[in-house]
Structure 1
Amino acid sequence: MSAIARQSSSTGAVTDPIRVMVVDDSVVIRGLVGRWLDEEPNLAVVASHRNGRLAVDDVLRSNPDVVILDIEMPDMDGLTALPLLLEKKRNLVVVVASTLTRRNAEISLKALSLGAADYVPKPETNSGVTTSPEFRRELIEKVLNLGQRARSRMAPGSSPAAPRPGAMPQRGIALGAPAAQAAKPHRAASFTLRSYGNVKPRVLAIGSSTGGPQALNTLFGEIGSSIGQVPVVLTQHMPPTFTAILAEHLTKAAGRPASEGKDGEVLVPGHIYVAPGGRHMILAKSGSDVVVRLTDGPPVNFCKPAVDPLFKSVVEIYGTATLGVILTGMGSDGAEGVRQIGQVGGSVIAQDEETSVVWGMPGAAAHTGMCSDVLPLNDIGRKVSKILLGGRP
């Protein structure tokens, strides 16, 4: 029996914990994170290294399911080590840990494009890490969910599809739902679809989480030429700094201006408004205009920004002329907003399970019974463009 196999006290069955490698140049961080993970019954630290080179050399021997990878390290940094780790072990899940500097945010988004599953913002000091319950919670949540999701895709009898062009790498998985939900497959037969609304949309509202940056780049590459007549509002679960850089990337992908929403800003067609990290973004009426409002209320669905407040505010203003899209992500944020869009006669498209990094948010949306379609990522852009241009869905 493996030295790290553990016995369930309730059933007596032997379980195999998710194997984790911690890679960080700080001995304090390695020790602290290692203790956190080892205190979890479904996790086991199998290796700990101070730089990327040692991690690459050891990954086949220690055989982790998940690697927590620091960005800035001597000898070999995280961005250099990432493709080497993924090349050595197929379906390895890599979670990038970085402080919230602009440079590290850019590197983290680059890491996602290279196949990292997700990122976790790290406090800037060792003392900050020690005293941050949010960092600990988020790190453990992501490792559990991503590790279980990866194992479920590789379980006997499962048949992971080869990645489609433009789909997220199958190495990467995501943030937020309970571990059991992340690993549980959903089947199309378990949800129903409703008809598309019969009113041409006057707004496009999008929600996404883990896997979202890659999916959004794909989507906006398809719909950029079609959004000239409507404003686009977007909540992507991201911390401050990251959302500003995401907007820059979407400007390039769409060929349209994208920026973080500013309080009081008037919505104009053809512009993409991204909810800034750490603030909820909603819409409100100001005379004959629709404006952005930023609020500093508590997290919704453990998220800030959250999708539900945005979607609910969109429904109040645009009603049946709302087109919503829910992309990859853990948890259920956005499901209540989707329900409200459907109830007023608007339309919602959710990303399908096969092309989602994690089918938490889109799965929850699909199970409201208020979606008009559940589509592969590469089909969503064409469908959205057709609808926005006045064609029949």
Structure 2
Amino acid sequence: MSNEIRVLLCDDSAVMRRLLRASMQSEPCLNVVFEAENGREAVDNVKSVKPDVIIMDVEMPVMDGVDAVREIRKLSRSVPIIMFSSLTSRGAEASLDAIEAGASDFATKPVGAGHITKAMASVRRELIPKLLQWTRRAPIEPPVPFKFDAKATLPPHNGTPTQHEPSFVPEPGKRGFAATSSGQVNVLGIGVSTGGPQALATVLGGLPKDFPIPIVIAQHMPPVFTGLLADRLASQTGHKVREATHGEELLAGNVLLAPGDYHLRVIRDSGVVRAQLDQGPLENSCRPAVDPLFTSLADCYGDRALGLVLTGMGQDGAFGSKRLRERGAHVFAQDQETSVVWGMPGQVVKAGLANKVLPIGQMANEITRMVRAGQPASIT
């Protein structure tokens, strides 16, 4: 079949492999061409099988998923590898290790796989869209094994998944944005998805340690994963990165990450800006989502907010960027060359919402320059 997507499935559980095969029947183009019971079998067969995408379990005998990713990346830089892990601290930690080793993305295994109908629905919601997005587009170079270096840029990536254009794309010359302020910036908001851990480490690691404004981040990740990511970013960058808590004040120098399964917004309460967490409806199929965060920043800070849209699939953040621009705030978007996936930033650029389009390695310097310009004290 001309549109066949060849899938290499690696999981030591026969039950899980059977569940995945059954779930993929909803998409006839997905064809499991090889099943491996451990990472060693996947590595040994990847060149002969020539898969279009690999589903990789984390914990397996003989060779685990993280080591398998490292070995496969020595053989192929082009095949997408999607980690498929349990929603536990151990599974999340291993998935983040695999992303740093070169895996393309991750999805979480269904909770209570014994309930077949619910388990299949979970696979179709969490995993199958990523299989389709990573394969139904121009070839893309997956992430290289990642070692944080604040002075280095990420390697170039090409190609983007097919996405719908945002419904609000303005006509040229009729955007109706407020005049963009060139004055003080009081908050930095970041929205990111696929490729986020590397991109966030690069941006945060390049900012001065005495960064004088709060930073709030919406990264598409489930519970458990976000807490571990915050810990890693704090260790890698030296900044005070942690999950946001409901009602806490936004303070200069703090970096607050939206917890998995919660939207993060900001509100002004008696002159104090506080974090607000809620489990409102999914937005852009996500929770946390970027749009509610950016919209609240526009409402709370107006032209004194700065929005940053980094690598990721989909169009989350585009509507929020529009709200920021309407209030006179600046929006920066990551360029295509350094994005793992130029979906979210690409939509912002295509809609004419980005004040600047920058490589990931230049983001921190440009943010620091802009923030410094509006601050009475110097930033070192």
1:322 aligns with 2:316: no
Question: In 2, distance between residues paired with 1:260 and 1:118?
Answer: 21
Query: 3-state SS of the aligned residue for 2:114?
Result: helix
> Match for residue 8 of structure 2?
21
Q: Give the total of aligned pairs.
A: 360
From 127, 131, 139, give the equivalent of 1:139.
127
Deviations 1:148-189 (A, max 9, x none): 34x4348xxxxxxxx994315759x99xxxx5339x9xxxxx
Q: How does 1:253-264 map to 2 (within 5 A)?
A: 253-264=236-247
**Native 8 Å contact 2:4 2:31 kept in 1:** yes
For residue 348 of structure 1, the aligned residue among 319, 331, 336 is 331
Does residue 1:85 correspond to 2:72, yes or no? yes
Residue among 109, 118, 121 paired with 1:122:
109
Q: Is the CA contact 1:122–1:129 (under 8 Å) kept in the aligned structure 2?
A: no
**What is the correspondence of 1:1-393 to structure 2 with a 5 Å cutoff?**
6=1, 15-127=2-114, 130-132=117-119, 133-149=121-137, 151-153=138-140, 165-167=152-154, 170=157, 180-181=162-163, 197-225=181-209, 227=211, 229-390=212-373
Matched to 1:62, the amino acid is: V
Q: Is the 8 A contact 1:266 1:290 kept in 2?
A: yes
SS in 1 for 2:207: helix
Residue 116 (structure 1) shift: 0.4
CA distance in 2 between partners of 1:333 and 1:138 (Å): 17
C-alpha distance in structure 2 between counterparts of 1:274 and 1:256, whole Å: 12
**What letter matches 1:141 in structure 2?**
P
Seen in structure 2, the aligned counterparts of structure 1 residues 165 and 18 have a Cα distance that, compared at 3 Å, is farther
The answer on whether the counterparts of 1:281 and 1:293 sit within 8 Å (CA) in structure 2 is yes
Ranges in structure 1 where 5+ consecutive residues have no aligned partner: 1-5, 7-14, 155-162, 185-189
Structure 1 segments of 4+ aligned residues over 6 angstroms from their partners: 190-195
Cα-to-partner distance string for 1:215-263 (whole Å, 9 max, x where unaligned): 1011111114362x11100000000011111111221233221111111
Evaluate the alpha carbon distance shift between residue 336 and residue 138 of structure 1 in structure 2; reply closer, same or farther with a 3 A threshold. Answer: same
The alpha-carbon deviation at position 43 of structure 1 amounts to: 2.1
Q: Which residue of 2 aligns with 1:10?
A: none
Cα distance change of structure 1 residues 129 and 390 upon mapping to structure 2, 3 Å threshold? farther
Looking at structure 2, the residues matched to 20 and 170 of structure 1 have their Cα atoms a distance apart, in angstroms, of 22
Aligned AA (1:319): G
Mapped to 1, the partners of 2:210 and 2:182 lie a distance apart of 19
What CA distance in whole angstroms lies between the structure 2 residues aligned with 1:129 and 1:338?
Answer: 40
* Structure-2 change in CA distance of 1:372 and 1:191 (3 Å): farther
Work out the CA distance in 2 between the residues paired with 1:206 and 1:168: 21
Tell me the alpha carbon deviations over residues 26-67 of structure 1, each in whole angstroms, 9 at most, x when there is no partner: 111112212333541332211111111111111111111211
Give percent identity, aligned residues only.
Answer: 40
CA distance in 2, matches of 1:165, 1:35: 43
Q: Which amino acid aligns with 1:266?
A: E
Conserved 8 A contact 2:82-2:104? yes
Structure 2 CA distance for aligned equivalents of residues 97 and 360 of structure 1: 22
Structure 2: distance between partners of 1:378 and 1:279: 29
SS in 2 for 1:126: coil
TM score, norm. by length of structure 2: 0.88
1:222 maps to a residue whose letter is G
TM-score, normalising length: structure 1: 0.85
Ranges in structure 2 where 5+ consecutive residues have no aligned partner: 166-170, 376-380
CA distance in 2, matches of 1:300, 1:290: 23
CA contact (8 A) 2:190 2:309 kept: yes
What is the RMSD of the two structures over their aligned residues, measured on CA atoms?
A: 2.7
**Match of residue 378 from structure 2:** none
Counterparts of 1:367 and 1:57, CA distance in 2: 42
